[in-house]
Amino acid sequence: MNNYKYKHSSKVRSLLEKIRLINPLYDIEIIFPKIRWPDNSVNQLLEKNKMMRMHHAISINALNNDIGLQAIVDRNSEADLWIHIIDDKKNIIGWSINKKLIINNQTANYFQITMFHQKIQGQGFYPLLNEIRIEIIKPDLLFVRTQNPQVYKYFTKLCQNHNFKISPTKEYINIKMVKLLENIFDNLDNKSVQRGLFNKAISNYPPKFEKDTELIWSRMNIEKGDCLVIVGYQDY
């Protein structure tokens, strides 16, 4: 995959213009970890582990909670795409990771994690970042799991922008999608909720509900670590 190509795409330029309103020296870094660190040599591991520790630090700041370094390492280790927002001192202040899967002969784009330092939250970066993620890993199917209603809001808009149907909604749950992802997510029930993924709510900030999301969130118990699995699909 060509990092230069994506760095000069219109989607990346849109995000760059937005983040440089805060600071003209901010930048975006796109990494394909399985290409950049193919053999886990000592030097490669040092660089990779340093970045994952920075991911962990940002997650603590973003959530006002520590989900543990190992949770970050596990998800990063599987990823095919990392995107970083870099500040003027070359520190990571925002990051996302995605994993490419083949499910029933379809390319699936799994939006694994996104974290922003508090100083850049609420600036409209998340939907622009998602557009880059779907441009780089072009999917037949895309999904995310979350405890955050704002993720549902913007993931739904992403799906609508690219002519994907969405499940669940307040009126409908696509059971075929649930069955399709049961091998990916343990304890996924017919409400598209993964039960007990964490021991508790992962963020210490209260959720901000939209009108349509409160009913969906009532189907799970965040305090017991439940997460909603949201799917964008075309052919089911």
pTM attached to this predicted model: 0.93
Asked which of 66-75, 101-110, 198-207 is least confident by mean pLDDT, the reply is 198-207
Q: In this structure, what token pair is assigned to residue 203?
A: 């963020």
What number is the average pLDDT over the span 26-30?
95
**99: helix, coil or strand?**
strand
* Domain boundaries of the chain, sorted by first residue: 1-139, 141-236
Angle at 198 between CA 195 and CA 203, to 5 degrees: 115
Reduce the DSSP state of residue 234 to 3 states and report it.
Answer: coil
Q: How far is CA 82 from CA 85, 110, 148, 174, in A?
A: 10, 12, 21, 29
Tokens of 127: 């939907």
pLDDT top residue among 43 and 123: 123
- What does the alpha-carbon distance between residue 86 and residue 74 come to, in Å, rounded to a whole number? 23
- Amino acid in the structure at residue 155: F
Decide if domain 1-139 falls under CATH 3.40.630.30.
yes
Strands 141-146 and 106-116: parallel
Nearest CA-CA partner of 63 in 28, 130, 124, 114: 114
pLDDT digits (tens, 9 = 90+) for 86-122: 999 999 999 999 999 999 999 999 999 999 999 999 9
pLDDT tens digit sequence for 180-194:
999 999 999 999 999
| 71: helix, strand or coil | helix
Which residue in this structure is represented by tokens 């439940």?
Answer: 226
- Cβ neighbors of 191 (< 8 A, separation 6 or more) are 168, 173, 219, 220
Query: What pLDDT score was predicted for residue 1?
Result: 47
Contact predicate 44/37, CB 8 Å: yes
Give CA–CA dist 81/163, Å, rounded: 23
In this structure, the strands spanning 227-233 and 141-146 are antiparallel
Which pLDDT score, from 0 to 100, does residue 212 have? 79
Peptide bond into 24 cis (omega under 30): no
